[in-house]
């Protein structure tokens, strides 16, 4: 069994398979710890982290505790934070803001401890797929040598590299969510106190279909980034620094928080990041995490989907191996459920960009407040959530106001 990629999706799949007695080799092209964006977890990550026995390590870590998410309107008006435990008074309602270099290294070490054979510095160059069935991978080892390794199943956890989906032309870009992002890190910026210290802040940018994230991390660091339509964001000739500060000047809620701080890292940028694969599994191969699909980071769903699909894929592979049948149908049996959940989250993302006001929606339909919070915590694999989208659809038509407050 080969897993390609040692991020949260690959580490989860590999660890759970190894626990079932499957011999797993994991190839990761980087040496860990390595930098990665995607620092805000959502409450539903709890269940996979619990199953992996990682909760004690997280509790003992220095990661900032996150209890809520707060929205700020374009003119700087702050909503009441959405406290997750109001919806569900369970310890899963507290989650974490993680420095990904440390979190990912923790997860990969944990996989090693479950007997996964982790090979860092080894890049998988190709997955051999003949007549739809994967049979082996070609690997360039850290010492420069190339080898071919046979495998019964290949798990593609290569993140946005999305090795198999691109190779098989299964990669479908989301043309509605053509966004980009520019971000950096500040030290000494404003932090709320008590349980609000670790809130994720989502602040709309004035007069644009864009927003800032503000994610407090440990060591007094804050991750802060702007997201927007990428043609408008990446204006010709503008540096990432210029873009960041142009957007900041249109976002008073974030500007005033950053004022006492100093920049503590470079500017980073990425574009065109929402997509899905047309097919999540084939004969002898499975896609997990970002290799399978990625949705705009508005609701911080990326690491959750990486952990969840890692878990679903590991269970599917274990039963496929037991049955001696590693066909696409078995390995991807979970695909419809994940597509539905992803689709619900996507609807919420699109509504936000249209200027949909959840505050007005909940005033008219207060009985849907549990549905909205369920979505915010990542409890998205429930068919009963769909009735809310019918009511939202009616209001979306009426309320497409450009600067709706949250
Ligand atoms: C701007 C932005 C903001 C985000 N914010 C958040 C957030 O706040 N919260 C959240 O949950 N998510 C967020 N995300 C999403 C999050 O970063 C990803 O969803 C998450 O990292 C997916 O995990 P993964 O394991 O699938 O992939 P990755 O974490 O990308 O891991 C893939 C690994 O595969 C390795 N690899 C790639 N190709 C090969 C190869 N050929 N051979 C060997 N190894 C290979 C890579 O080195 C990498 O370590 C954000 C994303 C973006 C773009």
| Binding site membership of 39 for ligand 1 (Cβ less than 6 Å) | yes
Tell me whether residue 195 is in a domain. Answer: yes
Q: Which domain holds residue 233?
A: 179-271
Closest CA to 179 of 247, 243, 229: 229
Output the domain CATH number for residue 257: 3.30.9.100
Please state, in angstroms and rounded to a whole number, the distance separating the CA atoms of residues 45 and 373: 15
Is the same domain home to 278 and 267? no
Q: For the chain, how many structural domains are there in total?
A: 3
Please state, in angstroms and rounded to a whole number, the distance separating the CA atoms of residues 196 and 178: 32
Q: What does the pLDDT read at residue 273?
A: 77
Q: Could you give the C-alpha distances from 382 to 45, 210, 294, 301, 395, in angstroms and in order?
A: 16, 29, 20, 16, 22
Tell me whether residue 92 is in a domain. Answer: no
Phi, psi for residue 100 in degrees, rounded to 5? -65, -30
Tell me whether residue 58 is in a domain. Answer: yes
Phi, psi for residue 128 in degrees, rounded to 5? -80, 125
Is the same domain home to 381 and 279? no
At 209-263, the pLDDT tens digits run 899 999 999 999 999 999 999 889 999 999 999 999 999 999 999 999 999 999 9
At 228-243, the pLDDT tens digits run 998 899 999 999 999 9
Q: What does the pLDDT read at residue 209?
A: 87
Q: Which of 309, 337, 365 is the last residue of a domain?
A: 337
Is the same domain home to 193 and 256? yes
Tell me whether residue 88 is in a domain. Answer: no
Is the same domain home to 190 and 229? yes
CB within 8 Å of 118: residues ≥ 6 apart: 6, 14, 26, 28, 108, 111, 112
Which numbered atom of ligand 1 lies nearest the CA of 292? 26
- Ligand 1 centroid vs 269 CA: distance in angstroms? 14
Tell me whether residue 80 is in a domain. Answer: no
- Ligand 1 centroid vs 265 CA: distance in angstroms? 19
- Ligand 1 centroid vs 399 CA: distance in angstroms? 35
At 105-129, the pLDDT tens digits run 999 999 999 999 999 999 999 999 9
Q: What is the pTM of this model?
A: 0.96
Is the same domain home to 114 and 155? yes
β-pair type (285-287, 154-156): parallel
- Ligand 1 centroid vs 112 CA: distance in angstroms? 19
Please state, in angstroms and rounded to a whole number, the distance separating the CA atoms of residues 157 and 15: 13
Closest CA to 306 of 42, 105, 95: 42
Tell me whether residue 81 is in a domain. Answer: no
| Binding site membership of 300 for ligand 1 (Cβ less than 6 Å) | yes
């Amino acid at each position: 069994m080969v897993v390609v990629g040692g991020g949260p999706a690959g580490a989860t799949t590999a660890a759970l398979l190894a626990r079932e007695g499957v011999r797993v080799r994991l190839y990761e092209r980087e040496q860990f710890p390595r930098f990665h964006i995607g620092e805000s977890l959502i409450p539903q990550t709890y269940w996979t982290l619990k199953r992996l026995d990682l909760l004690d390590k997280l509790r003992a870590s220095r990661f900032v505790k996150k209890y809520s998410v707060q929205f700020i309107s374009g003119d700087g008006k702050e909503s009441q934070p959405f406290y997750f435990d109001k919806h569900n008074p369970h310890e899963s309602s507290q989650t974490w803001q993680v420095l990904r270099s440390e979190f990912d290294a923790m997860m990969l070490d944990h996989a090693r401890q479950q007997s996964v054979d982790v090979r860092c510095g080894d890049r998988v160059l190709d997955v051999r797929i003949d007549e739809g069935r994967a049979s082996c991978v070609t690997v360039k080892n850290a010492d420069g040598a190339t080898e071919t390794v046979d495998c019964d199943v290949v798990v593609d956890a290569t993140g946005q590299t999305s090795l198999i989906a691109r190779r098989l032309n299964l990669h479908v870009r989301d043309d509605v969510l053509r966004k980009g992002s520019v971000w950096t890190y500040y030290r000494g910026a404003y932090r709320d106190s008590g349980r609000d210290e670790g809130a994720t802040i989502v602040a709309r940018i004035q007069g644009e279909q864009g927003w800032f994230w503000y994610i407090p991390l440990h060591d007094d660091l804050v991750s802060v980034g702007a997201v927007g339509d990428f043609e408008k964001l990446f204006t010709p000739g503008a540096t990432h620094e210029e873009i960041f500060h142009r957007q900041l000047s249109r976002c008073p809620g974030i500007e005033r928080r950053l004022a006492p701080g100093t920049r503590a890292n470079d500017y980073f940028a990425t574009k065109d990041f929402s997509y899905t694969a047309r097919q999540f599994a084939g004969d002898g191969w499975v896609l997990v995490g970002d290799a399978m699909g990625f949705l705009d980071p508005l609701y911080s769903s990326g690491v959750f989907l990486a952990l969840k699909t890692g878990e679903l894929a590991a269970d599917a592979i274990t039963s496929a191996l037991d049955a001696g049948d590693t066909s696409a149908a078995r390995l991807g049996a979970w695909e419809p459920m994940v597509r539905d959940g992803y689709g619900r989250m996507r609807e919420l993302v699109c509504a936000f960009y249209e200027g949909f006001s959840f505050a007005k929606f909940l005033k008219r339909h207060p009985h849907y407040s549990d549905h909205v919070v369920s979505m915010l915590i990542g409890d998205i694999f429930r068919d009963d959530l769909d009735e809310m989208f019918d009511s939202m659809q009616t209001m979306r038509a009426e309320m497409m106001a450009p600067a709706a407050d949250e």
